[in-house]
Amino acid sequence: MRWKRLGLATALGLLFVAPASAGAKTLIGSGSSVAQPYLQALFAGYHRVKPGISFLYTADGGNAGVKDVQAGRSQFAAQTRPPLPSDGGTTYVKLFLDGLCIYVNQQNHLANMSLGELADIFTGVRTSWTQVPSSALNTTIDAVGRDSTAGTFTFFTAAVLNGQTQGSNVNTLASDGLVANAIRQDPNSIGYAGLARSKTPGIKRVSLGGVACAPQFIKSLKYPLSRFIWLVLPTASPDPDVQKFADWIRRSVPAGEIITKGGAVPAFNKTRKHRKH
């Protein structure tokens, strides 16, 4: 008798719940862990605009996300590197920009360096700060970077090392956050991480070739390590709701504000017009 009552109550509950959730849709995505914090904020922002749309995102890495889209497991993926020949059957859409900044400890006087000097450090050619005079240090360089399977590592080796092998003296860490923390705690350290880490106390950005890792130079692509965050869709049958979401990220004013607040740089968004008094 008790089971019958419970079954009836469940059925009635479903009757009331069903109309409320009718028309609701969950978009399934996966990919870059670097892009995840920006995307989570954008998901929340889009849900406010379109309450019927919600998102399920798994940060399994940009490369794995593309494979998920190819296999039909995900409706979209986020990626931090440009398309490769192995990405067949997918379409890459530019969403917004990020800068891969070079960070040193606050105690280091280094403010600017060339791409060549940076490459020398990360290939193990320059191992002492005496070989980088403007640092005003005479200690060994403790270089920190990312794992070889991270999209950030792939971008860095292509853009800075020109495909050369990263030196064995570079300590590789599992996330941008750990890289920023290592630099903060070690006065002799240098490393690379996204623009969003510029708010970490105790570390500072180093200009490359006289160009600062700052939103205005990233947006104009003058900063040499500017990179797009991409949305990857299946070419054959992209979900219309995912396309609308991509358009919203690229064009809308609120999305641009969310991207800026998260520490990245809007590439195409309109800006809010300020009234003149």
Interface segment toward other proteins; rule CB under 8 A; list 44-52, 173-181, 231-239, 247-255: 173-181
Q: Is 171 in the site for other proteins (CB under 8 A)?
A: yes
Q: Is 147 in the site for other proteins (CB under 8 A)?
A: yes
Member of 97, 100, 132, 150 binding other proteins (CB under 8 A): 150
**CB-wise, 30 or 207, nearer to other proteins?**
30
CB of 128 to other proteins, least distance (A): 7
**CB-wise, 60 or 239, nearer to other proteins?**
60
Q: Kindly report the three-state secondary structure assignment for every residue of the chain.
A: CHHHHHHHHHHHHHHHHHHHHCCCEEEEEEECCCCHHHHHHHHHHHHHHCCCEEEEEECCCHHHHHHHHHHCCCCEEEECCCCCHHHCCEEEEEEEEEEEEEEEECCCCCCEECHHHHHHHHCCCCCEHHHCHHHCCCCECEEEEECCCCHHHHHHHHHCCCCCCCCCCCEEECCHHHHHHHHHHCCCEEEEEEHHHHHCCCEEEEEECCECCCHHHHHCCCCCCEEEEEEEEECCCCCHHHHHHHHHHHHCHHHHHHHHHHCCEECCCCCCCCCCC
**CB-wise, 169 or 260, nearer to other proteins?**
169
Member of 17, 24, 84, 221 binding other proteins (CB under 8 A): 84
CB of 24 to other proteins, least distance (A): 30
Q: Is 168 in the site for other proteins (CB under 8 A)?
A: yes
Q: Is 187 in the site for other proteins (CB under 8 A)?
A: yes
Q: Provide the binding-site residues for other proteins, judged by CB under 8 A.
A: 33, 60-64, 66-67, 84-86, 124, 127-128, 139-144, 147-151, 165, 168-174, 178, 181-182, 185-189
